[in-house]
Structure 1
Amino acid sequence: MSFRNEDYHPYQENWQQQQQRQDFDSSDSAGFDFSEYTSKEDLGKLWNETIKKGMHGICFSMYEDGQEPGDHITMEQVERRIEILKPYSKWIRSFSCIEGNEFVPQIARKHGLKTLVGAWLSDDLEKNELEIEALIDLANKGFVDIAAVGNEVLYRNDLSMEQLLEYIKRVKKALPNIPVGYVDAYYEFVLHPELVQHSDVILANCYPFWEGTSLEHSLGHMNDMFHKVLNVCEGKRVIITETGWPSQGESLRDSHPSSANAMKYFVNTQQWSHTNDIDIFYFSSFDESWKKGAEGEVGAYWGLWDKKENLKF
């Protein structure tokens, strides 16, 4: 997840306006009835019950305090964190294939977890080559269930569409028996049909928080995001590769970080995922202090576990 300046994207309508349209389907947007969970303790028990039921997937957080992207992370650190996560999730999502990130799918597979493995693409073309070759190598060795060629590259404007599609085509040719896709904000698949055309699976990030949506309306907003992608997916599988809610930090219009809101959003998304058979990779596993630099204070508090690797609630 990268820094959003004010809006996740100006393309989206105001969610309250969408509700007023006749074609808006709000049948899956009500969420859990929290009226009986009036204390933080009661809400914490519900959150714990929910997480112990298990998630489809979790986004892997690599970095401890004092570490950041570019540092080489040891296999021992990765394994310790995988062992913490494995009772709670069927899948692990990684974001890169170098600098220790290659250990994530290897150790996840060792512990019986499935893997969505990402090659991190940027405007550094030499590093992109290392990422793509490492992704192909990991897949050929049997460590990749779904391959993701890039994450929010178009959102960051790091590469042209033509450059991105060449990477996707290259990986698809090298890995004909593994589903290959590209991760970006949900609206990119609406705006760019060629992304859908060249993907085996549609990998969409959906963040009501970054569009300034209140907790009350957040599930309905995400339901609408998902269906926007579903309407253009050409029958291909759609996976929500990131969604989450921070427990501390700055507000964005009607989106307010807090422990209570983070717990409620998690419970809502997990219930919605199970009820509707929608695959979600929750963002994120552990709090990471390095994210404060890019996203402000709020960036450091997206984890279900704190930075000391303890469950938050």
Structure 2
Amino acid sequence: MRFSSTLTALAAALPFTNAYWKGFNVAATNIDGTCKTTAQWETAFTKLAGLPQDITSVRLYASSDCNTLEYAVPAAIATGTQILVGVWTEDSAHYTLEKNALEAAINAHGSDWIVAISVGSEDLYRGDTTASALATQINEVRTIVRDLGVTQQVGHVDTWTAWVNSTNEAVITASDFIGLDSYPYFQDAAIGDAYDTFWDSVTATRDQVAAVSPGKWVWVTETGWPVSGPDYGDAVASVKNAQTYWRSVACSAFESIHVFWYAYQDYGASPSFGVFGDNGDAIYDLYKC
């Protein structure tokens, strides 16, 4: 399936709206491994808001780690940023800390800063849990936040291969939204094929979701191309290819689906998907599409 037919079908299935979330994944740690302070969160959010795309939403991976919500939520409120909240589900002690941190943030700051809540991240892809256990956790977190008056959607983030696996249908049923992580780089796609590979993963996920639980939106919660790192088949990590991927995928996705780009910074990782370098400057041109 080529891009033209894929995107046409996708656009036809979406509600008529231009109100798509445009965000970045942002880690809670700094280059030296220390946890971000509220001031450092505010610096990150301000930098993203200053991009030509007017990025005013972010995805955070956890709630309690590094006191993420305790420090990030005041910064988000101060900068007009909204958060796709992550609740880590493993292990049970960590999961309890995550729920407590989320509840504390809502009690302290209300819920206007919340985009949605993701319970777990790629748990099914890693094989760390079962679909039924994860569905139970999604429903539990939804009950907790509904009792606090929060109406935002509660869902899960995973790879497209996990979503199209029929054994995971319980998670689709339990989720209000479907968070999709799509990386053509890890599918060994050459940069010239990455555009179509990305949209094919979106379409495959959307079709499976529609078959199991019609009417639920698929969000792209992670995608990007690495600026450095090893080759995967025909996929080559480079600044040039990351720029090309942004020019093609970001510029189409931002206009047609909720997207959270990976990643704001990615210090020392290999491959490294970080868009902003150690000096705080963008590694490639994030021009307005």
Normalised-by-shorter TM-score class: 0.7 to 0.9
CA change 1:284–1:206 in 2 (3 A) is same
CA change 1:199–1:311 in 2 (3 A) is same
| Equivalent runs, 1:70-89 vs 2, <5 Å | 72-88=35-51, 89=55
SS of the counterpart of 2:80? coil
Q: Distance in 1 between matches of 2:83 and 2:132?
A: 27
Q: Which residue of 2 aligns with 1:186?
A: 160
TM-score if structure 1 supplies the norm length? Answer: 0.76
Report whether the alignment pairs 1:197 with 2:176. no
CA change 1:144–1:309 in 2 (3 A) is same
After TM superposition, the structure 1 stretch with the greater mean CA deviation from structure 2, 175-184 or 154-163, is: 154-163
Specify which of 63, 68, 76 is matched with residue 29 of structure 2.
63
Q: Which amino acid aligns with 2:201?
A: M
Q: Which residue of 2 aligns with 1:303?
A: 274
Unmatched runs of 5 consecutive residues or more in structure 2: 8-19, 285-289
Q: How many Å apart are 1:74 and its aligned residue?
A: 2.1
Q: Which residue of 2 aligns with 1:110?
A: 78
Q: Which amino acid aligns with 1:26?
A: F
Unmatched runs of 5 consecutive residues or more in structure 1: 1-23, 31-53, 292-296
Q: Which amino acid aligns with 1:73?
A: K
Q: How many Å apart are 1:55 and its aligned residue?
A: 7.8
Q: How many Å apart are 1:86 and its aligned residue?
A: 1.9
Q: Distance in 2 between matches of 1:150 and 1:137?
A: 19
Report whether the alignment pairs 1:278 with 2:257. yes
Report whether the alignment pairs 1:120 with 2:83. no
Q: Which amino acid aligns with 1:196?
A: I
After TM superposition, the structure 1 stretch with the greater mean CA deviation from structure 2, 164-173 or 54-63, is: 54-63
Asked if 2 retains the 8 angstrom alpha-carbon contact of 1:304 and 1:312, the reply is yes
Q: How many Å apart are 1:228 and its aligned residue?
A: 0.8
SS of the counterpart of 2:170? helix
Asked if 1 retains the 8 angstrom alpha-carbon contact of 2:190 and 2:235, the reply is yes
| Equivalent runs, 1:137-152 vs 2, <5 Å | 137-140=104-107, 141-142=110-111, 143-152=113-122
Q: Which amino acid aligns with 1:287?
A: D
Asked if 2 retains the 8 angstrom alpha-carbon contact of 1:204 and 1:241, the reply is yes
Q: Which amino acid aligns with 1:159?
A: T
Q: How many Å apart are 1:83 and its aligned residue?
A: 1.8
SS of the counterpart of 1:181? strand
Q: Distance in 1 between matches of 2:76 and 2:253?
A: 22
Per-residue CA deviation, residues 146-194 of structure 1 (Å, 9 max, x unaligned), is 0111111122222232321221111111223120001110222221221
Asked if 2 retains the 8 angstrom alpha-carbon contact of 1:94 and 1:104, the reply is no
CA change 1:93–1:128 in 2 (3 A) is same
Q: Which amino acid aligns with 1:202?
A: I
Q: Distance in 2 between matches of 1:280 and 1:186?
A: 15
Q: Which residue of 1 aligns with 2:10?
A: none
Q: Distance in 1 between matches of 2:254 and 2:92?
A: 40
Q: Distance in 2 between matches of 1:118 and 1:254?
A: 32
Aligned length: 254
Q: Distance in 1 between matches of 2:238 and 2:5?
A: 24
CA change 1:179–1:139 in 2 (3 A) is farther
Specify which of 102, 122, 128 is matched with residue 135 of structure 1.
102
Q: Which residue of 2 aligns with 1:154?
A: 124
Per-residue CA deviation, residues 43-98 of structure 1 (Å, 9 max, x unaligned), is xxxxxxxxxxx98111113322220xxx5432222222222112230311101111
Alignment RMSD: 2.1
CA change 1:230–1:29 in 2 (3 A) is closer
TM-score if structure 2 supplies the norm length? Answer: 0.81
Q: Distance in 2 between matches of 1:28 and 1:135?
A: 41
Q: Distance in 2 between matches of 1:29 and 1:180?
A: 27
CA change 1:218–1:310 in 2 (3 A) is same
After TM superposition, the structure 1 stretch with the greater mean CA deviation from structure 2, 158-167 or 88-97, is: 158-167
CA change 1:229–1:105 in 2 (3 A) is farther
Q: Distance in 1 between matches of 2:274 and 2:280?
A: 9
Q: Distance in 1 between matches of 2:102 and 2:122?
A: 17
CA change 1:55–1:181 in 2 (3 A) is closer
Specify which of 2, 19, 27 is matched with residue 4 of structure 2.
27
After TM superposition, the structure 1 stretch with the greater mean CA deviation from structure 2, 182-191 or 249-258, is: 182-191
Asked if 1 retains the 8 angstrom alpha-carbon contact of 2:224 and 2:262, the reply is yes
Following superposition, which runs of at least 4 residues in structure 1 exceed 6 angstroms of deviation?
Answer: none
SS of the counterpart of 1:183? strand
SS of the counterpart of 2:68? coil
Q: How many Å apart are 1:307 and its aligned residue?
A: 2.4
